[in-house]
Structure 1
Amino acid sequence: MLAFKKLRIHRFKMPLKYPFANSLTTIKEKDVIITELIDQEGRKGYGESVAFDSPWYTEETTDTVQHMIEQHLWPLIKTQRIEHPQELELHQVRRNQMAKTAIEGAVWDLYAKQQKKPLYQVIGGTTNKIPVGAAIGVQSNDQQLLTKIQQALDNGYQRIKLKIKPSHDLYLLEKVREHFPTIPLMVDANSAYTLKDIDHLKKLDQFNLMMIEQPLAHDDFIDHAKLQEQLTTPICLDESVNTLADVKTAIELKSCKVISIKLAKVGGFTNGIAIHDYCQKHNIPVWCGGMLEAGVGRVQSLALATLPNFQFPADPGASNRYWHQDIIRPEVEVHDGYVTLPDQPGIGYQVNLPTYQKALI
């Protein structure tokens, strides 16, 4: 039986080692929320919200996440008694997926520690060794981009993802393919195009890409279906997919050939597992995208990626690609293109939280 005694919310800023730019914004630091949930036996479980401080990616922000946890989610769960995390009742709160993930991730961590098993095992993962790729944001010049790619390859990353947008795509890919003709390569548009760009987007087929992620509007399925019909390159939906219902719509309309499951964007492990299982049943491969996670969210996302239908290298890689110092010990490391999760109970890492900017419930 799991019963919850106390919840602490830790909020702090983490400066990135290097600015990360995409078609919509440039991020220099991350506003991080970590939840610390304590059960009646004194065990601690940790979760993370990966929301940003402005609503450029989803409607949620760190301010809304903190408000939802304090005013709605904690009052909702603090009297619940459950045997398994899938019994957690959060459906009374609509959407707010990232806030829910911050709570639900801590519950799963507690459950795994209660069971004395690593998190990846209790969610049904088949291996603790996850292949990883590198996501590279928009760079200031060609040479800087090529250097970043080479560094990632030298560090063993098994796939490269580039950010693209109109006027920053064909030339970019020509230059990359000139220097790296055979590397596994994908692109992410973050909704930078419209269906009016279809003839332009068809030119991406020549670059032998693994996929193009979210080329059209963040809430669209119909236009993506029209575009996918005209492209050889698989479309991967990311921002459009927040629920199992979204996945069913995408598959029914043939809007894509790949789906990105981001733990925080779908509301946590229970929903992530359901989406994974549905995609597997319908022969749609999935992969684990990244959200500039700190250590807790990073290892929980990687735990989800141990499920068998995750068929592409995951985005969350080594901590030191992003952070001067992560909040977990040891930090996440990549060896020969893989992250190996520990076999200790729960997330398997020691969490060392900053002592400043701490809000307690």
Structure 2
Amino acid sequence: MNIKKIRLHIISMSLKKPFVTHLQRMETREGIIIEAEDQRGAVGLGEVVAFSTPWYTEETIKTCYHMLKDVLIPLVERSPITHPEELSKLFEPVRGNAMAKASLEMAIWDLYARQQEKPLWNLLGGTREKVPAGAVVGADSIAGMIAQTHELVDEGYERIKIKISKGADVEVVRALREEFPHLSLLADANSAYELNDAEHLKSLDEFRLKMIEQPLGIDDLVEHAILQNKISTPICLDESIVSPHDMKSAIQLKSCGVVNIKLGRVGGYNHALEIYRLCKTNEIKMWCGGMIEFGVSRAHNISLASLEGFSIPGDISSSSKYWEEDIIDAPIVVENGFVKRFDRPGIGVDLNQKRLNEVCNYREEFLL
């Protein structure tokens, strides 16, 4: 692939509105944008979707930067590849660090597609011209969540995910369901519950939720299987699925009916596509999850979600939901509940260099 250099940009942008869960209140989003450039000057883009602190997974912006600079980029330098599929084997000796691996793999997949002068969705086997979009609501109060949901419904979103936790669940869901009786709602618990909360979680069945996402432990599969037998609301696994092996185990145990596939969480496209195929074969519903990303990662999510089989609207909201101005040259726009795919080579967007410079706190370049 003749990768000549890799650039890392640490950026920080203020959210238009605070994003609130029981684990974290976020007003500013930090990230790392990756550029992989070949000898002809073509540039592929990737993004680290870890957060500044380890509230979602153990990875952070700082740990990912270390892994990229000191481990992963040197691996690519020592062992040049001819196709992005080779990265899985190359990164195999490195335990964990899925988000760091995914960010570099994303950039190299994008570069490869640009070298082939084809859209990335085309190389992945995507067929959809537009993908269904959902959005996440996180606020300090029920009134705030209702207000956010009204705004999103007015913008055309047909699926809304609400954050719940102990002490802020049944009342929240009831209020949203009463306000939006026909809206597709799902609840995300971010592992706020234990198995002995099963009877309480069963009380959510009456609200016709599309699913409840990751109610139990972040590394659990067994207790989710037990819980799924006790409640009728489908369980969606998120944090528990970090590898194809986890997906195989979840299928054998019948731990879930739905899976949220996030490129960053599972280590990039190669693992995501393997999980996708396992889900299709075993009739597990899928959707493409989001991480309050910048435009680079959102464009990658659109490429992935263009595959048939992502039957549930994903977290692919408009750039304007979170940012006054995104860092890409063609903002992500949701129209009537859908996002059109980009038909330019690669992920279909480039960096807005002026905006990138405004929000960049540090950059470093590595020659290969």
TM-score w.r.t. length of structure 1: 0.97
The answer for the alignment partner of 1:270 in structure 2 is 270
TM-score w.r.t. length of structure 2: 0.95
The answer for the alignment partner of 1:177 in structure 2 is 177
Instruction: Give the AA of the match of 1:142.
Output: I
Q: Deviations over 1:146-185 (max 9, x none)?
A: 2211111110001011000011111111111111111111
| Cα pair 1:3 1:80 within 8 Å, conserved | no
Cα distance, 1:14 vs structure 2: 1.2
The answer for the alignment partner of 1:61 in structure 2 is 60
The answer for the alignment partner of 2:11 in structure 1 is 12
Q: Deviations over 1:64-120 (max 9, x none)?
A: 100000001011002434332112222121111100111100111111001111111
Cα distance, 1:359 vs structure 2: 2.2
CA distance in structure 2 between the aligned counterparts of 1:143 and 1:285, rounded to whole angstroms = 31
| Structure 2: runs of 5 or more not aligned | none
CA distance in structure 1 between the aligned counterparts of 2:302 and 2:20, rounded to whole angstroms = 23
| Cα pair 2:318 2:331 within 8 Å, conserved | yes
Cα distance, 1:237 vs structure 2: 0.4
Cα distance, 1:124 vs structure 2: 1.1
Aligned residues: 359
The answer for the alignment partner of 1:333 in structure 2 is 333
CA distance in structure 2 between the aligned counterparts of 1:274 and 1:143, rounded to whole angstroms = 41
Residues 1:257 and 2:247 are matched in the alignment: no
| Cα pair 1:120 1:128 within 8 Å, conserved | no
Q: Where do 1:88-127 residues align within 5 Å?
A: 88=87, 89-127=90-128
The answer for the alignment partner of 1:50 in structure 2 is 49
Cα distance, 1:19 vs structure 2: 0.6
Q: Helix, strand or coil: the match of 1:65? A: helix
| Cα pair 2:72 2:101 within 8 Å, conserved | yes
CA distance in structure 2 between the aligned counterparts of 1:8 and 1:330, rounded to whole angstroms = 21
CA distance in structure 1 between the aligned counterparts of 2:205 and 2:175, rounded to whole angstroms = 15
Residues 1:359 and 2:364 are matched in the alignment: yes
Q: Helix, strand or coil: the match of 1:70? A: helix
Q: Where do 1:303-342 residues align within 5 Å?
A: 303-342=303-342
| Cα pair 1:285 1:311 within 8 Å, conserved | yes
Cα distance, 1:316 vs structure 2: 1.9
Cα distance, 1:218 vs structure 2: 0.3
The answer for the alignment partner of 2:129 in structure 1 is 128
Q: Helix, strand or coil: the match of 1:196? A: helix
Cα distance, 1:128 vs structure 2: 3.2
CA distance in structure 2 between the aligned counterparts of 1:327 and 1:283, rounded to whole angstroms = 37
| Structure 1: runs of 5 or more not aligned | none
RMSD of the TM alignment (CA)? 1.1
The answer for the alignment partner of 2:22 in structure 1 is 23
